[in-house]
Amino acid sequence: MLQGWVGETIDAEKYLYCIVDHSIDGSRSKRRTAARLCEDGFPTEVVAAMPWIILVDREEGGIARMREAGLTNVRVVFTLRGIIEGFCRLGFWEKETADATLAEL
């Protein structure tokens, strides 16, 4: 049976589903995604346990909000702070630019 937004048969016994997203700020879109997955037939416990892989955490509280909403299996590849510090170490950014940007986080 095909589901609306998902577009395939959901078989949580056979497959491990995960979400991969480029970035997170406040998490509203991630929580909406979780709600749509549930509407399309994913069991709530599967959505809560599925890995959420976030490439860049913009450090605006989104990870904590996801966890508060029950989405606890969240993995972050990079933080914005780490990227900026790396750019500075590698000489891509001047220290003053990096410091000014970090002060805004």
pTM: 0.83
Q: Which helix (H) or strand (E) holds 102?
A: helix 95-103
pLDDT for residue 89: 95
* Cα 12–Cα 18–Cα 19 angle in degrees, nearest 5: 140
Q: Using CB atoms within 10 Å of the CB of residue 1, give its burial: 0 to 12 exposed, 13 to 18 middle, 19+ buried.
A: exposed
pLDDT (tens, 9 = 90+) of the chain, 105 residues, equals 445 677 677 888 898 889 999 999 999 999 999 999 998 888 899 999 999 999 999 999 999 999 999 999 999 999 999 999 999 999 999 999 999 999 988
User: What domains, with CATH codes, occur in the chain?
Assistant: 19-103 (3.40.50.2020)
